[in-house]
Amino acid sequence: MSPLSDPSAVVNPIAFHDYHPAPADLRAEVLEGLAKPRKRLSPKLFYDAEGSKLFDAICELPEYYPTRTEIAILRESGAEMAKRLGREALLVELGSGSSLKIRVLLEALRPAVYMPVDISSAHLRESAQALAATFPGLQVHAVCADYSAPFALPVEDHEHPRAAFFPGSSIGNFEPVDAEQLLRRVAAILGPDGRLLIGVDLIKERERLERAYNDAAGVTAAFNMNLLHRINRELDGGFDTTRFRHEAFFNAEQSRIEMHLLSTCEQQVEVAGARFAFEEGETIHTECSHKYSIDGFHALARRAGFEPEQVWTDPEQLFSVHCLVSRS
């Protein structure tokens, strides 16, 4: 039978639900962040076209273990995870995956409905369409929304067990109290007995952690520095990028990798008509990537209204994937 005459091979059109998330106001965010006594910029600002490319390159680096380790865990234990999440599930993905991870999970889980939630409309539409084409028969509801703010699912659906997928240790970008609040909202979306499958990077030796954010090829440095290039491009900024350098270190007390852009001299920089002074050695804090122990993450999950059900790791215990059950 040719693909066209095989009804099971027909690609469903995707449904697109646009909640019109407020577009990031780069100018306002940058002016506000640089005016703080301790200058800081949100890691969300990394991901322009160039930054997204650099992030993809980071995921391929030998030193950056999280991506390949999480994929290996999904491959190894996908069948067990699928059992936990249930048959014919409605699967919500926080941040939409053009990546291998969601494909590995869809392969194992075969949900009835796939609902990617992403703030970037173009990226969401493209990746949702690509997945609909690879998984004929899968109902795809793409939701353009900011998942870090409250939102409701666009469909009244109570016939399928609900599950959510939040890979990549993206939860690590949030301060623990904000991470807790986000998980609480996910629990509310899932309702009682919903499952959350979430990837979390684990605490490990400082050397291993710091190497992952200070790669030999300098890709992470370029990713961090791209924020200054972006401000120069989009806000008519005057950053001399030869006078800043990438800095990343493990803050053990707060259990997080911190990324900064460090001013190598005393200088003044103009951005969008405003002037900012830097001391020599002063930094702009650009990212926190929190690392958890399994017990520490379980405690956070419980505070957010989940009960830990199962956890999978790799043989070196570098990374963890948790299945949590919502109580609310």
Q: Please identify which residue in 213, 250, 278, 292 interacts with ligand AVJ, judged by CB under 6 A.
A: 213
Q: How far is the CB of 69 from ligand AVJ (least distance, A)?
A: 12
Instruction: Quickly list H helices, 121-272.
Output: 121-134, 176-190, 206-212, 219-235
Binding mask 61-100 for ligand AVJ (x = CB under 6 A): -----x----------------------------------
Q: Which two three-digit tokens encode residue 139?
A: 């109902």
Q: How far is the CB of 173 from ligand AVJ (least distance, A)?
A: 5
Q: Name the residue whose CB lies closest to ligand AVJ.
A: 289
Cβ neighbours of 294 (radius 10 Å): 16
Q: Please identify which residue in 111, 161, 167, 172 interacts with ligand AVJ, judged by CB under 6 A.
A: 172
Q: Please identify which residue in 77, 96, 139, 170 interacts with ligand AVJ, judged by CB under 6 A.
A: 170
Q: Please identify which residue in 77, 173, 263, 320 interacts with ligand AVJ, judged by CB under 6 A.
A: 173
Tokens 């290039």, located at residue: 229
| Pick 43 or 86: Cβ nearer ligand AVJ | 43
Q: In whole angstroms, what is the distance from residue 201 CA to residue 168 CA?
A: 8
Q: How far is the CB of 63 from ligand AVJ (least distance, A)?
A: 10
How many residues touch ligand AVJ (CB under 6 A)? 11
Q: Which two three-digit tokens encode residue 45?
A: 């600002």
Q: Which two three-digit tokens encode residue 272?
A: 């969008």
Q: In whole angstroms, what is the distance from residue 294 CA to residue 253 CA?
A: 17
Q: In whole angstroms, what is the distance from residue 225 CA to residue 218 CA?
A: 10
Q: Which stretch binds ligand AVJ (CB under 6 A): 29-37, 109-117, 163-171, 303-311?
A: 163-171
Question: Under a CB-based contact definition with an 8 Å cutoff, are residues 253 and 201 in contact?
Answer: no
Q: Please identify which residue in 69, 127, 169, 283 interacts with ligand AVJ, judged by CB under 6 A.
A: 169
Q: Which two three-digit tokens encode residue 282?
A: 């002063």
Q: Please identify which residue in 41, 58, 138, 179 interacts with ligand AVJ, judged by CB under 6 A.
A: 58
| Pick 77 or 169: Cβ nearer ligand AVJ | 169
Q: Is 226 in the site for ligand AVJ (CB under 6 A)?
A: no
> Please, which of residues 130-149 interact with ligand AVJ by CB under 6 A?
none
Q: How far is the CB of 49 from ligand AVJ (least distance, A)?
A: 17
Q: Is 198 in the site for ligand AVJ (CB under 6 A)?
A: no
Rounded to 5 degrees, φ, ψ at 53 are -65, -45
Give the containing element (helix H, strand E) for 15: strand 15-18
Contacts of 79 (CB under 8 A, 6+ apart): 108
Q: Is 30 in the site for ligand AVJ (CB under 6 A)?
A: no
Tokens 């800095």, located at residue: 247
Rounded to 5 degrees, φ, ψ at 21 are -60, 140
Q: In whole angstroms, what is the distance from residue 287 CA to residue 51 CA?
A: 14
Q: Which stretch binds ligand AVJ (CB under 6 A): 143-151, 169-177, 275-283, 298-306?
A: 169-177
Please report, as ranges, the residues that interact with ligand AVJ according to CB under 6 A: 58, 66, 168-170, 172-173, 213, 220, 287, 289
